[in-house]
Structure 1
Amino acid sequence: MANTNADTSPDRQYHHLNMSNRFAHSKVQVLRDGRFSLHTNDHSNRLQAYLEKRAKKRPLRGQVRRKTQKKDPIDYKAVLGSYEGLPRINIAIHIVGSRGDVQPFIPIAQVLSKPPYSHRVRICTHPVFKDLVEENGIEFFSIGGDPANLMAYMVKNPGLMPGMESLRAGDVGKRRVEMAQIMDGAWRSCIESGNGLPEDANVVRSRREEDMRLFIADAIIANPPSYAHVHCAEKLSIPLQLIFTMPWSPTQAFPHPLANIEPSNVDPSITNYLSYSMMELLAWQGLGDIITRFRVKTLNLDPISPLWGHLLLSRMKVPFTYLWSQELIPKPKDWGPHINIAGFSFLPLASSYQPPDDLMAFLNAGPPPVYIGFGSIVVDHPAELTRTIFGAIKRTGIRAIVSKGWGGLGDDTPPEGVFMLGNCPHDWLFQHVSCVVHHGGAGTTAIGLAMGKPTVVVPFFGDQPFWGAMVFRAGAGPEPVPFKKMSEETLAQSISLALGPEIQAAAESMGKTIVKEKPGAAEAARFFSEAIDLKRMRCYLSPERVAVWRIKKSNVQLSNVAVSALMAGGHLNFEHIKLIRHIDWYVDEGAEGPSTGVLGAVSETVLNMSMSVADYCRGLSRTLRGDLEKGYKDSFELAHAKDAVHGDAMDLEALHTIPTRIHIQPADTYPHGRLEYIAYRMASKTARKTDKKKRQTWKQKQLDKQAQVFSRSNDMRSTIEHKHGKIHGVAHETLHFAGSMLGASLKAPVTFFYNLANGCHNLPSYAFGDDTVRRRDKITGFGSGVKAATKGYGLNMYDGITGLVTQPYQGAKKGGAAGFGKGVGRAIGGLIFKTLAAQFGLLGYTFKGFEKQVGKRRSRDLKARLIAIRLRQGLMEYENASEDEKALIMDRWNKISRAQQQS
């Protein structure tokens, strides 16, 4: 499966990474061809046994239904009657990449937005694809980023490490800034209305129009390179489904698409499996600080070390769906039930396409031509590539259609028998050609094979060599020749081979099989619905709606309409409800061992301090330049701030009259300021009482926000004021820097003991295959931290001591004398490390709980914002609900109340 054509000579190697443990020694060398070379040796049998043992004994970690979802004495099914429908939810689809990455998600979004699902779906991707998304009837949200710049950068730097020219030109810094903006945009796409573009934020709309556009994601679908997906899902406690066009889940069947496996004394299946972890680790090394900043600054979540962050998706068994035909790549045997293959997802464009007259004249003038195009690839020398293509066409004597693409191929006078093509849907065009020559993008490969056309792949970078290898293995095309090695001779030879009878027959056979398969988009939608278990997300009183609230200390989950109806009837107060957490993503497992934990603690402390220094230098530079507005007006913060203090929110003195029970009235007449204050009180857990101090704190926040908006929008300062502003700004930045460095220093011992405790706790499971290791309780504050510390101490000591008897017994029962010996080893190792985990956990988990408790104040504003959006949605949905639905809600509530009284 490796790309044998990749140039692996020493002068092509740019960076390397050596990793050793008791199982194997791995050497990773990053190549300039867009892939990485992996060489593994030693202890392959031991590693094979470890992987098999781990696959069997590792418990399911990751997505866990919320703690309160246990057996309840009330039969809610009896209350709901025979209703078997699914709730309508809001889905945010995050996509980073080219048109070929975006296009397969459009038919999936279309299926999910129509019956029987009828969800509200928005595709969140780069602004250049706005028209493509909206013209297919799907809501769009811009997350920023320019795929054309990205493609140009990747062609210029096809390896995982950039060249010196790009470093000198600042290209790397620009791409990192762009990735940070994309992550922030992905989060905004989960909680903001509109389409994320500046011009949309400036449109003046009525209150009712704004409320109708409100959006909070109830589930996320994403392709893995968007990277913000799991962090956004963790923050919102919502389901996540990853969908991709190339393999991203570890398997022994084939290597990661970006891996070039070197020959070694290790079983190839082992190296294949390791290649996925190596790829993720390399990616996290490059993006780790950006992800950390995103989690800490934007989402108010704990940082995650790249040392175990790169294992998040596989550890948590995040549901995956892959969009390719099993005829091309069958599902590997070591992929679990949470991984599915749906088939190719095609966006039908042929029916609405009207070909130009000159194209039809060319097609009718002779035998079917060969298609040659490289899609969204941007090359440095398009004229040279054009000459190569024209030369190959002349050598083979064929007719050809050459796509101009993003690279700008072609000239004003193409040779005879060549047609230069602009934008044209492949599902129409490929019906009229004899063979397709392209870069190996997943989407173009899919449609070419589905049409039964021989396929010549000229890979440039990334996963393209992988798809070329898959096509070659299936017999539907010749062996791929990388773009760097392509010449007139090689391209002409590949086309001639593709037009041969053997490859033509194999391609036609594959095309007929793919056509008979179920549509990939429909299968992907089905897998998504099954994976997130929509029935568990239903409101207990209005099951056609998704639950967004939960009554405290109960299992009763309610929709916006149900809460509004119960409050209108006097059955609920704000003090009784909280935002629901449909799924708790358990990302707190931590290090696999104590040494990794210590290394992670040191690297996290260094990173925190480095971020503080970088923020200080950036802020100081901005202040000294007098560029006080930079980075502010370019974001959407100003628009949000203006909206927050608009109209009714200005009347702050009236807030003391707000009762704990909402007064139901038309949504467009309810004061925003009152809803925001109610949300702030709920986020502060003070909804029960009228807290003058809390009210004054919130009022001051609003006044400060108003002052910032008006001062920044007017931007009128005298020279003296400007000078004073610089002095004040420097002092402020310095004071903030000192505070952040002090905070990083105080967090260092917390991080050290916390990571060390996790490492000691996890080691018996990872190293010895000990299946008695328990999942540690989630730490959300000081109380839960103390509970986790004391409970962990008792259970670890108990398991360590009793393991001296149970582990040898279980080993002997399963494996005789040899199993008994292994059990003794597990028992001794478990006693040592479980005792250490108990000791370090007393400090680490208690300290962590205290840190979480202090950090709650920092996340209060974000939580209040989410609550306020839900309250506004509730008023609007209640207003639009029918009287029959409201009456049915009250009837079901009365049944539940009677059942609670009887239980």
Structure 2
Amino acid sequence: MHEAPPPPYELESTGSLLSTKAVLTSDGRLDINLSSSNAAKLRSLIPDPPPKSPRHQPATRPYLQDKTTPCPSLNIVIHVVGSRGDVQPFIAYGTALQRYGHRVRLATHGCFDKFVRDSGLEFYDIGGDPTDLMAYMVKNPSLMPSFESVRGGDIGRKRKMMIEMLQGCWNSCIEPDAITGAPFVADAIVANPPSFAHVHCAQALGVPAHIMFTMPWSATRAFPHPLVKMSGERGAGSIEPGVANWLSYGLVDLMTWQGLGDVINGWRKKVLELDAVPNTMGPFLVNHLKIPHTYCWSPALVAKPSDWREELDVCGFFIRDEPDYDPPADLANFLAAGQPPVYVGFGSIVLEDPERLHAAIVEAARVSGVRLVISRGWSKLGGDRIGDKNTFYLGDCPHEWLFKQVVAVIHHGGAGTTACGLINAKPTLIVPFFGDQPFWGKVVASAGAGPAPIPQREVSADNLTQAIRFLTSASASDAAQGIAHKMRQECGVQAAVASFHRHLPLDAMACQILPGQVARWVIGKKANRVRLSDQAVAVLVASGLVKLDDLKALRVKEFDTDVKRWDPISGGAASTLGMLTDLTVSLGDFFVDPYKAYKERAAAPDKNSAAAAGRAAVAVGGGVVKVYGVVLQGVFVDGPVAMAEGMRNVPRLYGEEVKQQGKVTDWKSGGAVAAKNFGSGFYRGITGFAIQPWQGAKQEGFVGFLKGAGKGTIGLVTKPTTAVLGLVGYPALGIHKSLTAKKGRDQAVLRSKGAQVDAVASHMHALQDGQLRYITTRFRQLYLGA
């Protein structure tokens, strides 16, 4: 008896302003329908496009002149999660960074070790199995898992893999090279979005982060998120296409955070020793922090949308240098024996039914009268078959060389493979499986360089035959030639390097004694604060002017992930909601953890039931502590702080500037912030009540007097109130942070940074006496005023 197919997944949310319906069909596609009872109001809430700038133009060369301050040599780690096609563009990019003078470490899955090291870059294994990841994505091409994936345990494996990769990404920021033992601490982090660790590692280290990706990941009105299919009819309740496109990005962020937010926050707390990101901020954290993005596709194909901000760049495809390649004799003989063939390959894709796809490809080629080069890929397309005069089965071969030998290409639509085909002027058919592949299929087709994409589950001999006939037509060839000409005028990798440099806080990263070197240490406070490079520190320590313990690790970039309380109502509500959420999780753990502890101990080889019961009892005690801890923190810390912050920010609502009193990091700063807030609250409340009516009258006469009187009256209530609430909240917050503070992360970073200084010190003999005297003399001037 055959099992009935699972019912389609449906999610429906109805609100006064926005209604959302998401349906997951049997093939894993996510179909989203948005409607609104007040489309005009909804449109008004979406940010207006920024003023146009030269960076909205398709040309990439102007990027190269954007930064006049030279960038010192940095330690850069690049986090990449995905297939070989995801890794390859970053080899091109990493090589360009290395040529500039940076030390570059590419951190990705272990199976790409040789691929990365053979290119001349450092490699770090972050764990994770891209084969398993690709198989999961083929089965679940949208964001939501299919019923079969849930039943088969795919979700649990994927979450465990994510924990492994998050940890691996953090280790890649601070651990030495596995082969040479050379110490390494990242000065900047570059990442693709699926690595997820980027901004969190950057926050822990206090270094800049930069996102680079091959498909749109930033909200725009120009087109929907590539992972979303928008549907719905025009009419009552319909939303303008541009508004719906913009909203689709937020939906992707929300659903991604819903699946992984707890994993990320657990890792932040346990490993990075950072506070959890609030669920109201987590999905949109990268956008909230305005992390720079560089999109590595050709602006000749997709220009930068007019509503993208300055920190979002489109720089061109990343094309690596063509590797040296000497084709084997059988491949060379095949290519020379007839007309140029059509290339077919799906790279790292793990096919569900490779035999079905192979049969369709071979039959379509026979009917069309073309020869084939078939790349076996990870799915061993073609199995153990041996080729003939019309078909050649290929192992590993660089596309940069191979695509010059063929007439057209058929592939899955990875950005790197798409770029390689187009820059070589090859008409392209994309057979998309997931991710950005449908997006690139539509882009190529709209440019006339290929037919409409054929989703892999819809491939047949008939539609492939029609596609091949178009690929070998004069019109497709002409369109591909035109695109190739434009792409060859671009400088994608170089423009991306310039984009990266342009967004760095270079003035804050330079050593104040040796400006050509990156500063990694700091000594002193305020007026006599001095940023120092490893070399400067090595000289100063050797001369006895400083001790390494006197120095702190320099943090050049801070990321504010605290919840913003704009008024006492929303601030109090957010605090209460946060406490209830944490309490719900703690109560769940209270019942689940003892059971898990009992089962784990009972399953041990000795099967000691008494020990299992003891484990469960300990877990119960831990659950009680968690529950009470959540309640106490909510009542005595989060609640008062939220209300104090909300009251303090009320004047922002009517345009008054609100001075920040500092950040609470421990019990000392908690007391200091409370004292400042207390004095400022009463002083500004009383003086504002007296002065603001007079100031308003000077600006707008009697109407201004009334406005000022209203502001002063509100301030007379809110400002002293925040002063009183802050006396309770800020010291309590400081004490809480001091009690829960851990030093493992900072100690690990300092050890690695100290090892870098030791490595530099071992080469100090190469410095001349004049250089040594300059460093010590300049330090005395800056730090000691001598």
Sort the TM-score into its range (normalised by shorter chain): 0.7 to 0.9
| Residues 414 and 420 in structure 1, CA contact (< 8 A), matched pair in contact too | yes
Pick from 402, 422, 437 the counterpart of residue 449 of structure 1: 422
The one-letter code of the counterpart of 1:891 is Y
Match of 1:234 in 2: 203
- SS state at 1:124 partner: strand
The one-letter code of the counterpart of 1:243 is M
Match of 2:454 in 1: 481
Pick from 75, 88, 108 the counterpart of residue 103 of structure 1: 88
CA distance in 2, matches of 1:810, 1:230: 47
Q: CA deviation at 1:460?
A: 1.3
Q: CA deviation at 1:570?
A: 2.7
Deviations 1:157-195 (A, max 9, x none): 223222222222211101100001100111111111233
CA distance in 2, matches of 1:378, 1:811: 70
Q: CA deviation at 1:305?
A: 2.3
Match of 2:149 in 1: 166
CA distance in 1, matches of 2:628, 2:91: 48
Q: CA deviation at 1:835?
A: 9.3
| Residues 399 and 417 in structure 1, CA contact (< 8 A), matched pair in contact too | yes
Match of 2:365 in 1: 393
- SS state at 1:233 partner: helix
Match of 1:868 in 2: 751
CA change 1:145–1:396 in 2 (3 A) is same
Pick from 266, 274, 280 the counterpart of residue 247 of structure 2: 274
The one-letter code of the counterpart of 1:370 is V
- SS state at 2:123 partner: strand
Deviations 1:448-484 (A, max 9, x none): 1111111111211222111112222222222222222
CA change 1:795–1:278 in 2 (3 A) is farther
Pick from 547, 561, 578 the counterpart of residue 587 of structure 1: 561
RMSD, aligned α-carbons = 3.9
CA change 1:609–1:562 in 2 (3 A) is farther
CA distance in 2, matches of 1:832, 1:621: 57
CA distance in 2, matches of 1:174, 1:440: 26
Instruction: Compare 282-291 and 477-486 and name the one that shifted more.
Output: 477-486
CA change 1:885–1:325 in 2 (3 A) is farther
Pick from 82, 93, 98 the counterpart of residue 113 of structure 1: 98
- SS state at 2:558 partner: strand
Q: CA deviation at 1:545?
A: 3.2
- SS state at 2:454 partner: coil
Pick from 475, 484, 503 the counterpart of residue 511 of structure 1: 484
Deviations 1:613-660 (A, max 9, x none): 666555544444447xxxxxxxxxxxxxxxxxxxxxxxxxxxxxxxxx
Pick from 582, 592, 595 the counterpart of residue 604 of structure 1: 582
Match of 2:764 in 1: 881
Task: Spell out the pairing of 1:530-545 with structure 2 (5 A cutoff).
Answer: 530-545=502-517
The one-letter code of the counterpart of 2:431 is V
Pick from 103, 117, 142 the counterpart of residue 134 of structure 1: 117
Match of 1:693 in 2: none
Taking structure 1 as the reference length, the TM-score comes to 0.75
Determine if the alignment matches structure 1 residue 555 to structure 2 residue 539: no
Instruction: Compare 821-830 and 563-572 and name the one that shifted more.
Output: 821-830
- SS state at 2:421 partner: helix
- SS state at 1:436 partner: strand
| Residues 346 and 447 in structure 1, CA contact (< 8 A), matched pair in contact too | yes
Match of 2:664 in 1: 779
| Residues 354 and 379 in structure 2, CA contact (< 8 A), matched pair in contact too | yes
Determine if the alignment matches structure 1 residue 41 to structure 2 residue 29: no
Deviations 1:719-767 (A, max 9, x none): 89x99987876665555454444433433433455556667778997xx
| Residues 221 and 243 in structure 1, CA contact (< 8 A), matched pair in contact too | yes
CA distance in 2, matches of 1:841, 1:354: 72
Determine if the alignment matches structure 1 residue 256 to structure 2 residue 225: yes
The one-letter code of the counterpart of 2:104 is V
Instruction: Compare 882-891 and 358-367 and name the one that shifted more.
Output: 882-891
- SS state at 1:532 partner: coil
CA change 1:19–1:596 in 2 (3 A) is farther
CA distance in 1, matches of 2:782, 2:522: 18
Pick from 208, 221, 229 the counterpart of residue 190 of structure 2: 221
Instruction: Compare 538-547 and 604-613 and name the one that shifted more.
Output: 604-613
| Residues 14 and 30 in structure 1, CA contact (< 8 A), matched pair in contact too | yes
Match of 2:139 in 1: 156
Structure 1 runs not aligned, ≥5 long? 1-9, 57-82, 201-208, 628-718
| Residues 692 and 709 in structure 2, CA contact (< 8 A), matched pair in contact too | yes
Q: CA deviation at 1:137?
A: 0.9
Match of 2:437 in 1: 464
- SS state at 1:307 partner: coil
The one-letter code of the counterpart of 1:159 is S
CA change 1:447–1:613 in 2 (3 A) is farther
Pick from 186, 207, 223 the counterpart of residue 169 of structure 2: 186
Task: Spell out the pairing of 1:15-94 with structure 2 (5 A cutoff).
Answer: 15-18=10-13, 20=15, 22=17, 24-30=18-24, 32-52=27-47, 86-94=71-79
CA change 1:539–1:394 in 2 (3 A) is same
| Residues 619 and 733 in structure 1, CA contact (< 8 A), matched pair in contact too | yes
Instruction: Compare 879-888 and 358-367 and name the one that shifted more.
Output: 879-888
CA distance in 2, matches of 1:369, 1:266: 47
| Residues 541 and 893 in structure 1, CA contact (< 8 A), matched pair in contact too | no
Q: CA deviation at 1:844?
A: 4.7
CA change 1:152–1:828 in 2 (3 A) is farther
CA distance in 1, matches of 2:387, 2:712: 76
Instruction: Compare 406-415 and 83-92 and name the one that shifted more.
Output: 83-92
Q: CA deviation at 1:536?
A: 2.8
Match of 2:59 in 1: none
Pick from 735, 738, 746 the counterpart of residue 632 of structure 2: 746
Q: CA deviation at 1:99?
A: 0.7
CA distance in 2, matches of 1:829, 1:469: 56
| Residues 343 and 408 in structure 2, CA contact (< 8 A), matched pair in contact too | yes
| Residues 325 and 514 in structure 1, CA contact (< 8 A), matched pair in contact too | yes
Match of 2:304 in 1: 331
CA distance in 2, matches of 1:545, 1:619: 52
| Residues 693 and 706 in structure 2, CA contact (< 8 A), matched pair in contact too | no
Task: Spell out the pairing of 1:368-407 with structure 2 (5 A cutoff).
Answer: 368-407=340-379
The one-letter code of the counterpart of 1:131 is K
Taking structure 2 as the reference length, the TM-score comes to 0.85
The one-letter code of the counterpart of 2:582 is E
Task: Spell out the pairing of 1:635-646 with structure 2 (5 A cutoff).
Answer: none
Q: CA deviation at 1:95?
A: 0.6
- SS state at 2:373 partner: strand
Task: Spell out the pairing of 1:683-832 with structure 2 (5 A cutoff).
Answer: 733=619, 735-749=621-635, 750-752=637-639, 754=641, 772=657, 777-788=662-673
CA distance in 1, matches of 2:782, 2:173: 37
Q: CA deviation at 1:516?
A: 1.5
Task: Spell out the pairing of 1:604-643 with structure 2 (5 A cutoff).
Answer: 604-608=582-586, 610=588, 617-626=595-604
Determine if the alignment matches structure 1 residue 319 to structure 2 residue 292: yes
% same residue: 36
- SS state at 2:170 partner: helix
How many residues are aligned here? 749
| Residues 278 and 563 in structure 2, CA contact (< 8 A), matched pair in contact too | no
| Residues 95 and 121 in structure 2, CA contact (< 8 A), matched pair in contact too | yes
- SS state at 2:546 partner: coil
| Residues 79 and 108 in structure 2, CA contact (< 8 A), matched pair in contact too | yes
CA distance in 2, matches of 1:166, 1:345: 34
CA distance in 1, matches of 2:326, 2:407: 21
Instruction: Compare 559-568 and 612-621 and name the one that shifted more.
Output: 612-621
| Residues 327 and 514 in structure 1, CA contact (< 8 A), matched pair in contact too | yes
Match of 2:316 in 1: 343
| Residues 609 and 744 in structure 1, CA contact (< 8 A), matched pair in contact too | no
CA distance in 1, matches of 2:713, 2:116: 59
